[in-house]
Amino acid sequence: MALTACRCPSCGANLELDDARDFGFCTFCGAKVMLHDVVEIKHTGSVTLDNSPQAKNRLMIASRAFEAGNCPEAYNYYTMVLEDIPQNIEALYKKAICAVYLSDINDVRTAEFQSGITEAAAEISRTKDTGAQEQFDADISRMLLDVVDNAQFATQFRTVQACGEQVNGWAGIAQLFRSAIPVLSDGADKETLLESAIAFCNKVLGSKVTYYKETVRDKNGRETDKFATYTMSPDAKEYFENNKKWFADAYNNLPSRLQKENAVNDSLSKVSGEIDEITAKIRDAQERLNIAVKSFWTGNPEYVAAKQKLTRFGWLSGGFAVLALVIIAAILAGNQKPIGICVLLIVVVLAGTFLVVRSLRRNYDESVYTDNIKQLKKEIADAEGELRLKQKDQAKAKDAVKKFNQSKK
């Protein structure tokens, strides 16, 4: 049985079919493939080839391979799709994603990635295809996070060259983020992406890479490999520092971040303004209360006299209680306990009298005050309660502002 090499007219796959048969079937898309009885048709004038069915089948195969993680096959079929339909959005950016996954650690295909996603983003903008935009954002974001999560951070290498290749690979990953962030829509989760990019740069700058220097043998003949620290070049270090700053600036100026910042600041400003209003209200009510109380006592001397009597009686009770305590101390010192107990009872009575009189004096004010004064005092008490609640809200708002500022990169 002889095999004939041919290409599927539907999906473009390379096939090998039995030459003894007039036709066969594509093992990729199932289309019928004719091998013999080809009729030559002569035509004068221009001919336009319709490759849309073939491109559609190729795109289907590419999509299946992409979802299955078969990047080599997906890359090849997306390339064939673009030969027929150069503006196909899916093929443009997914081929670029495949190029990243097919890259070497020391040669991340950043230029191909950037070209593909830039062209795809331009086509999405031209067609205003919101569905394609959402899928574009999701696929690019997933790829970036996957690359960072699986980035190699080996610490020991056999050669200095291998250390440099590792640093070049890290630089390529940073460049992927630099290329992708600007073309993603505001609907993408750029906060998460930029946080990952910043964390990646910090990890790179904090990594200690070493390379093999020599093998030493101790007195017992045991060999040990010695490694030296690889020093990143000033240009490479500056590159990661600059990228980190770019990511941080982009993060802090995201519309979502600016909206959050405005929200927490507005919340603090609002509650602070409310506290100022309540404080002014209390101060005004207190001034009116002072005037009303002063006017009341000035216009009612009989109440003043009664209050003074209560005050004097209270102080006398307190004074006698203190004097009795002194007597108790002297009696107890002379071992006259029965007398001391009697005097102690007198102290208790006097102290109780003092407290009762003091309470009566305080309640006396409330009993003789006019309704206007009572209303002002109630107004102040209510405002002070409201003020305490607002002060708690202010503390929470300040804490929210502090946490947001700490989250800035």
Which of 199, 229, 253 lies at the terminal end of a domain, its last residue?
253
Which residues lie below 8 Å from residue 398, measured CB to CB, with a gap of 6+? 268
Cα–Cα dist 319/312, whole Å: 10
Q: Per the structure block, which two tokens stand in for 70?
A: 């078969």
R_g (Cα) of the chain, nearest Å = 44
Percent of the chain with pLDDT over 70: 74
pLDDT digits (tens, 9 = 90+) for 214-256: 888 887 888 888 888 888 889 999 999 999 999 999 999 988 8
Cα–Cα dist 299/104, whole Å: 97
Region of poorest pLDDT, from 66-80, 280-294, 303-317, 382-396:
303-317
Inside any domain, residue 41: no
Inside any domain, residue 110: no
Region of poorest pLDDT, from 50-64, 105-119, 242-256, 270-284:
50-64
Which of 253, 281, 298 lies at the terminal end of a domain, its last residue?
253
Name beta bridge partners: 107: 104
Inside any domain, residue 89: no
Choose between 362 and 399: higher pLDDT.
Answer: 399
Choose between 253 and 373: higher pLDDT.
Answer: 253
Inside any domain, residue 336: yes
pLDDT band at residue 49 under the 50/70/90 scheme: very low
Cα–Cα dist 222/305, whole Å: 106
Residues 248 and 274 in one domain: no
Cα–Cα dist 356/348, whole Å: 12
Inside any domain, residue 263: no
Q: What is the average pLDDT across 71-85?
A: 93
Region of poorest pLDDT, from 171-185, 186-200, 258-272, 357-371:
357-371
Residues 220 and 161 in one domain: yes
Residues 296 and 370 in one domain: yes
pLDDT band at residue 14 under the 50/70/90 scheme: confident
Name beta bridge partners: 16: 5
pLDDT of res. 328: 63
How many folded domains does the chain comprise?
Answer: 3
Residues 396 and 277 in one domain: yes
Inside any domain, residue 94: no
Backbone phi, then psi, for 4, in 5-degree steps?
-110, 130
**Chain mean pLDDT for the chain:** 81
Choose between 406 and 173: higher pLDDT.
Answer: 173
Cα–Cα dist 300/294, whole Å: 10
Residues 137 and 198 in one domain: yes
Which of 224, 253, 282 lies at the terminal end of a domain, its last residue?
253
Choose between 152 and 237: higher pLDDT.
Answer: 237
Which range of 178-182, 290-294, 340-344 scores highest in mean pLDDT? It is 178-182
- Assess whether pLDDT exceeds 50 at residue 38: no
Distance of CA 165 to the CA centre of its chain: 32
Residues 240 and 341 in one domain: no
Q: What is the average pLDDT across 170-179?
A: 93
Inside any domain, residue 84: no
Residues 238 and 358 in one domain: no
Inside any domain, residue 168: yes
Residues 233 and 296 in one domain: no
3-state SS record for 1-58: CCEEEEECCCCCCEEEEECCCCEEECCCCCCEEECCCCCCCCCCCCCCCCCHHHHHHH
Residues 241 and 334 in one domain: no
- Assess whether pLDDT exceeds 70 at residue 148: yes
Residues 395 and 356 in one domain: yes
pLDDT band at residue 46 under the 50/70/90 scheme: very low
pLDDT of res. 47: 42
Residues 238 and 281 in one domain: no
- Assess whether pLDDT exceeds 60 at residue 308: yes
Residues 311 and 382 in one domain: yes
Q: Whole domain around residue 177: which residue ranges?
A: 125-253
Cα–Cα dist 224/215, whole Å: 5
The size of the chain, in residues, is 409
Region of poorest pLDDT, from 67-76, 89-98, 338-347, 390-399:
338-347
